[in-house]
Amino acid sequence: MKKTICSLVLLLSFNTSMAQESVDNRQMIEMPPETKQLFLSKMRGHMKALDQIIAALAEDDLDDAAVIAETTMGIVGTGHGKKWECDDSDGDHAHKHDQSEHKKKGFGKLMPAEMKAMGMSLHSAADDFADVARQGGRGEAYKALRQISSSCVACHQSFGVK
Ligand code: HEC
């Protein structure tokens, strides 16, 4: 009897979480095909970076993990006048070349402010992660990595592209 109740409770909570999963309240951002392609390929780059960071942490290569995070997703490490699409600041540091790129395919101008802010919080989480990883402890580094992955999740729950 106890077992039956137990499975019933499990089944019910499973069903509830499935129902929640299927509710899609995302705001869909319209992008021209070329822009969407660029956006999604950046995303796949983020996924790859995340995978490489996890691999480096697993090997206890904290410095490598820091460099990967910084150079693929960080604001500071990507430097050299490069400007993230999510960056809303006026950016006198933005390259002329970068700006013409933006005009052509940039998705930054299509992203609502809230989405850009989520993007920037990913980039600063990557810089924070790099700092923490360089200071040593793997446990702390994992916690800081979670700040990165939860930025991915937050934006994916709120936005989509079409
Ligand atoms: C600012 C918002 C935002 C952030 C931050 C973000 N993403 Fe995305 N990502 C999106 C959107 C929007 C899509 C398109 C989803 C859709 O339309 O179903 C997407 C799609 C993807 C895809 C699918 C790519 C494809 O080819 O279809 C991957 C993989 C991905 N994101 C990985 C990540 C990872 C990993 C992170 C964090 C390191 C991340 N994203 C952070 C907004 C974001």
Q: Closest Cα to atom 14, ligand 1: which residue?
A: 160
The answer to whether position 49 is within a domain reads: yes
Sign of CA dihedral 116, 57, 45, 134: positive
In a domain, 100, yes or no: yes
CATH number at residue 118: 1.20.120
- Both tokens of 98, joined, read 């970068």
Asked, for residue 21, whether it belongs to a domain, the answer is no
Q: Domain of 69?
A: 27-161
Ligand 1: list residues with CB < 6 Å.
40, 43-44, 46-47, 50, 115, 118-119, 122, 148, 151-152, 155-156, 159-161
Higher pLDDT, 131 or 89: 131
Which one is predicted more confidently, 3 or 153?
Answer: 153
What are the pLDDT digits (tens) for 57-95? 999 999 999 999 999 999 987 766 567 889 887 655 444
Q: Residue 6: what pLDDT?
A: 52
Q: How far is the CA of 117 from the centre of ligand 1 (A)?
A: 14
**pLDDT (0 to 100) of residue 84:** 83
In percent, how much of the chain has pLDDT > 90? 64
Higher pLDDT, 105 or 156: 156
18 domain-assigned? no
- What total of structural domains would you count in the chain? 1
Q: Is residue 16 part of a domain?
A: no
Supply the pLDDT for residue 70: 95
**49 C-alpha vs ligand 1 centroid, how far in Å?**
13
Per-residue model confidence (pLDDT) at position 76:
81
Output the CA 43–ligand 1 centroid distance in Å: 5
Nearest to 68 by CA among 134, 137, 13: 134
The contacts found for 20-27 with CB under 8 angstroms, 24 or more apart, are: 25/158, 26/156, 26/157, 26/158, 26/159, 26/160, 27/112, 27/115, 27/158, 27/159, 27/160
**96 C-alpha to ligand 1 centroid (Å):** 27
How confident is residue 100, by pLDDT bands cut at 50, 70 and 90?
A: very low
The verdict on residue 5 lying in a domain is: no
